[in-house]
């Protein structure tokens, strides 16, 4: 649990879940984010980051598969605690999910229970990422169900067990599908298209991929308020919690 005093709720960094076909620019998307980044890469596609200088990469491979949950739990916790880290990236949770499911299946043959365990592990991962209050980017592969019906709605979805996707993506602010069209990269954020999508940050429904983090219109707004650096707390966290408890006690 985190507590905030009245009027002092500090917003978390935004959380983005972007899925798409191979080569659409999922791994490269992290370059749009400013600050120190840590990328957990599960599909071996780290070459796209070779020209970066601000990203620490954990690239997992088949030799890590058997201990993948323990490794991810351990390193995520370290990264969450890292004060100099601004952005956490999990690149391709489709690959991560498949390793985790294999491990769970290897231990028990009860298919239904195994999917429940999978969902619980991913729900906890999503909550821990939110608890970090850092900016988070998670990517996944897409499934193309082909155009069904006249309007082709509901054609695309992340390549994951549906309930596992729901469990993981619940705390995310944005869910979108990245795709290429005429050499330009776009992200579809519109749930009206029947694909998995949401945008809790603003009302944009279709954006260019390079405008995911900074909307183009906002860059030009001269009135945009500059953010003040947060004041350093003059009390320890425990003292602040005690103050809140005290205050609530007085009012009861
Ligand atoms: N915004 C961009 N502008 C120009 N080129 C880009 C952009 N984003 C990605 N690319 C290029 O497209 C290629 C594929 O990008 P990237 O590796 O990020 O895709 P991906 O979706 O992660 O692919 P995979 O699913 O195979 O991991 C790379 O060569 C990359 O340099
Ligand atoms: Mg990639």
Among 19, 27, 57, residue to substitute to test ligand 1 (most atoms within 8 Å of Cβ): 27
What is the rounded distance in angstroms from the CA atom of residue 32 to the CA atom of residue 219?
14
- Going from the Cα of 29 to the center of ligand 1, the distance in angstroms, rounded, reads 8
Which residue's CA is the closest to the ligand 1 atom numbered 15?
A: 25
Which residue's CA is the closest to the ligand 1 atom numbered 2?
A: 25
Among 17, 26, 28, residue to substitute to test ligand 1 (most atoms within 8 Å of Cβ): 28
Tell which residue, 151, 160, 195, 192, has the closest CA to residue 176: 195
- Going from the Cα of 141 to the center of ligand 2, the distance in angstroms, rounded, reads 9
- Going from the Cα of 152 to the center of ligand 2, the distance in angstroms, rounded, reads 27
Q: Flag the least confident range among 8-12, 21-25, 209-213.
A: 8-12
Q: What is the pLDDT of residue 237?
A: 63
Q: Beta-carbon neighbour count of residue 115 at 10 Å?
A: 16
Structure tokens at 190: 């519109």
Burial annotation 173-189 (CB, 10 A radius, 16+ → b, else e)? bbbbbbbeeeeebbbbb
Q: For ligand 1, which residues put their CB under 6 angstroms from it?
A: 20, 22-28, 43, 45, 48, 185, 209-210
- Going from the Cα of 85 to the center of ligand 1, the distance in angstroms, rounded, reads 24
Which residue's CA is the closest to the ligand 1 atom numbered 23?
A: 23
pLDDT tier at 227, thresholds 50, 70, 90: low
pTM strictly above 0.75? yes
Domain ranges of the chain: 15-222
Closest approach atom of ligand 1 to CA 47:
17
- Going from the Cα of 25 to the center of ligand 1, the distance in angstroms, rounded, reads 3
Express each pLDDT in 40-73 by its tens digit: 999 999 999 999 999 999 999 999 999 999 999 9
Mean pLDDT on 229-241 = 64
The CA distances from residue 40 to 58, 120, 132, 163, 173, in Å, are 5, 20, 15, 23, 20
- Going from the Cα of 24 to the center of ligand 1, the distance in angstroms, rounded, reads 5
Q: What is the pLDDT of residue 129?
A: 96
Express each pLDDT in 97-109 by its tens digit: 999 999 998 888 8
What is the rounded distance in angstroms from the CA atom of residue 188 to the CA atom of residue 204?
9
Instruction: Provide CB contacts within 8 A for 73, sequence distance 6+.
Output: none
Express each pLDDT in 1-17 by its tens digit: 778 888 888 888 999 99
Percent of the chain with pLDDT over 90: 68
The tokens 């351990």 sit on which residue? 74
Mean pLDDT on 29-36 = 96
Which residue's CA is the closest to the ligand 1 atom numbered 31?
A: 48
Percent of the chain with pLDDT over 70: 87
Q: Flag the least confident range among 92-101, 150-159, 241-250.
A: 241-250
pLDDT tier at 232, thresholds 50, 70, 90: low
Structure tokens at 197: 């999508």
Tell me the backbone φ, ψ of residue 184, rounded to 5 degrees: -105, 145
pLDDT tier at 93, thresholds 50, 70, 90: very high
Closest approach atom of ligand 1 to CA 24:
21
Q: What is the pLDDT of residue 39?
A: 97
Is CATH 3.40.50 correct for 15-222? Answer: yes
Q: Which residue has the higher pLDDT, 236 or 30?
A: 30
pLDDT at 226 over 60: no
Q: What is the pLDDT of residue 132?
A: 93
């Amino acid at each position: 649990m985190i507590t905030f005093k009245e009027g002092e709720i500090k917003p978390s960094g935004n959380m983005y879940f972007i899925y798409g076909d191979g080569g659409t620019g999922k791994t490269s998307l992290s370059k749009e984010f400013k600050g120190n980044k840590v990328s957990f890469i599960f599909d071996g596609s780290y070459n796209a980051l070779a020209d970066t200088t601000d990203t620490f990469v954990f690239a997992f491979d088949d030799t890590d598969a058997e201990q993948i949950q323990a490794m991810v739990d351990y390193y995520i916790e370290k990264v969450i605690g890292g004060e100099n880290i601004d952005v956490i990236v999990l690149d391709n949770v489709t690959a991560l999910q498949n390793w985790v499911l294999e491990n769970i299946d290897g231990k028990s043959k009860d298919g239904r229970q195994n999917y429940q365990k999978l969902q619980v592990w991913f729900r906890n991962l999503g909550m821990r990422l939110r608890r970090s209050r850092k900016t988070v980017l998670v990517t996944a592969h897409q499934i193309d169900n082909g155009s069904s019906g006249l309007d082709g709605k509901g054609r695309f979805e992340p390549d994951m067990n549906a309930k596992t996707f729901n469990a993981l993506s619940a705390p995310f602010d944005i869910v979108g599908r990245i795709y290429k069209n005429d050499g330009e990269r776009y992200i579809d954020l519109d749930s009206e298209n029947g694909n998995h999508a949401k945008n809790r940050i603003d009302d944009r429904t279709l954006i260019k991929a390079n405008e995911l983090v900074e909307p183009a219109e906002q860059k030009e707004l001269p009135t945009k308020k500059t953010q003040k650096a947060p004041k350093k707390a003059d009390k320890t966290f425990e003292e602040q919690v005690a103050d809140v408890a005290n205050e609530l006690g007085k009012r009861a």
